[in-house]
Amino acid sequence: MKARFTGRVLALIAGAGVAGGLVIGGFVHHPRVASAAADYPAVTDDRLAGGASDDGWLMYLRSYDSQAHVPFTQITADNVSQLKEVFTYSMPIPNGFEAPPIVNGHELIYSAPLNHVYALDATSGKFLWKYDYPLPKKALRTVCCDVVNRGVALYGANAYFETLDNHVVALDAATGKVVWNKAIYPEAGVGYFMTGAPMIVKGNLIVGDGGGEYGARGFIAALDPATGAQKWRTYTVPAPNEPGGNTWPAGMYKHGGGNTWVSGSYDAETDTLLWGVGNPGPWLSDLRPGKNLYTDSILGMDPSTGKIKWYFQETPNDPWDYDGVNTPILADVTIDGTPRKVFYKASRNGYFLVVDRTNGKLILAKPFTKATSVSGYDANGVAVENPANFPHEGKQVTTCPAFFGGNNWWSESFDPKTGYAYVSTMKTCMTIAGQKAPDPFKAGLGYLDETFQVQPVPGSNGWGALQAIDVATGKQVWTHDTKLPWNDGQVSTDTGLVFSGSPDQTFYAFDSKTGKVLWKHHMSSGVIGQPVSYQVDGKQYVAVAAGWGGVSPLWGGPKMVPEFKSIPLGGKLYVFSL
């Protein structure tokens, strides 16, 4: 089956969540029944800056460097086999659970699909409060891919989250009561939506949008955490009078995509916000000749003003949907004998990229999965793209990776001790063709003008892998290959462990140096939720949500999707300890 992206398809997908018994027309506030507000420790700028050593898990990937790594030493390779469930908490929503549990003191906050937020005691699972956002049904008309949410941000006494109808909401983290609610884009269901985890940097609440498949013009914005008032907004597709505006045909910038639907990172040493940018619109590049800045890029920005300092573009003039949104991970590594301050990422175009985070200059690029659309990078750090693999109007090609990318949005934990990145990997190719008679842009309708079909990499025995890559060289150290695609992020520990889950309902602990499986646990559903680890009162916990969904089952097509038919749906939070 060749899939053509339409608003109707996604509305039906999102509507499945409503059919599952979820009421979205109004909200019910459940008052806090456990510890008082005075017991909630304030989340200060200093605590966020020291997130890597905090006992909690205070932001999307734990710390500003986004390494998703913990220094805790209680759970080790010798005793991880003794991990047991401390508690579970069911959230009966039949969509993808992609968020990390966010933990501050004794409180754990989880943002579920369709904008429901739960608060539990982080040690016992005791219910504290629940908030159900009054989500209008029209917001579900234009959402990609699945009606997910990727986490809350904490600051002061508040918890902040983004909504599918383009709002940002501040809740009192101790009670769940609404502090403020601001619309970031005025209309719902016309192509814009918000699913990412906000980020607090220097007293700014940083958020981004989704919608490239509908021609929404991407942006990153900063809000006042106290009031929700906008401080600045930077569009990722520049207007003609702005730097990079001449890389677009006249008028195309207004619906050029470039959305920013995953959280970024922050480098305090250079005071630089690093944020990923998604694919251009429409997919069919015949309609938009040029590099199409700043799509498929990482932006280095001033967090106080939103001004772009530098950029690194992964895939210019992209016709394959190779978004650059997955979070850049910051690391200090020695490369060819020289200490370097870098960011790295496993790009959707199939290349593992290491870039100087002070100026955006490419250091190394190595393929980490089969890659034929891009054959490498030149001396100036520009992708060398295979012209034979560009789909054109009425022309079909076969290329790798598929639009899923070698890695989609999933995090890539970094272990400073090993110097390894732990990378979720897809082994896919695709046939992709340009539509013979492209449709003009119309707000609220799909904006692809291409058809596609996903295929496995020829000769592969499965759809995915979790692999370790040496950041200093870009070389694979070990791989754990799987029949199903690997769609989960990771958390690594100072004791040589890596935790991650898979669609086959298994949550794993691996030896970080060798990839040996040291422990595994059968889950209620497939795992695509970012795992975390935290400490409360000197005890270490590992937590993750199971709940299958996301992009793979929606767009995997007839060769991949049958593998998913036996996976149960519905969310459940798991918390483990010794």
The residues annotated as belonging to the active site are 321
The DSSP code for 81 is: G
Contacts of 338 (CB under 8 A, 6+ apart): none
Contact 384, 433 (CB under 8 A): no
**Are the beta carbons of 222 and 206 closer than 8 angstroms?**
yes
User: Are the C-beta atoms of residues 278 and 311 closer than 8 Å to each other?
Assistant: no
Cβ pair 43, 155 in contact under 8 A = yes
CB-count burial class (<10 Å; 0-12, 13-18, 19+) for 138: middle
Q: Per-residue b/e over 563-576, b at no fewer than 16 CB within 10 Å?
A: bbeebebbbbbbbb
Report which of 216, 395, 387 is spatially closest to residue 316, judged by C-alpha positions. Answer: 387
Contact 156, 205 (CB under 8 A): no
Helix (H/G/I), strand (E/B), else coil: 37: helix
AA letter at 218: G
Whole-angstrom distance, CA of residue 32 vs CA of residue 171:
13
Which residue reads 């593998």 in tokens?
A: 563
Residue 203 Cα distances to 105, 131, 207, 368, angstroms: 21, 25, 13, 37
* d(C-alpha 467, C-alpha 480), whole Å: 6
Alpha carbons 44 and 50: distance in angstroms, whole number: 10
Evaluate whether 150 touches 263 at the Cβ level (below 8 Å).
yes
373 contacts 389 by C-beta, under 8 angstroms: yes
Place of tokens 């593992």: 352
The beta strand positions in 350-427, using DSSP E, are 351-356, 362-367, 374-377, 383-385, 396-399, 413-415, 420-426
Decide: residue 437, CB within 10 A, 0-12 exposed, 13-18 middle, 19+ buried.
exposed
Closest CA to 504 of 519, 529, 522: 522
Determine the 3-state secondary structure of 47 from DSSP: helix
CB 213 within 8 Å of CB 144: yes
Instruction: Give the Å distances, CA to CA, from 310 to 306, 443, 499.
Output: 12, 31, 34
Alpha helices in 144-299 (DSSP H): none
- Token output for 270: 């250079």
Write out the two tokens for 455.
């295929």
Percentages of the chain per state (helix, strand, coil), in multiples of 5: 10, 40, 50
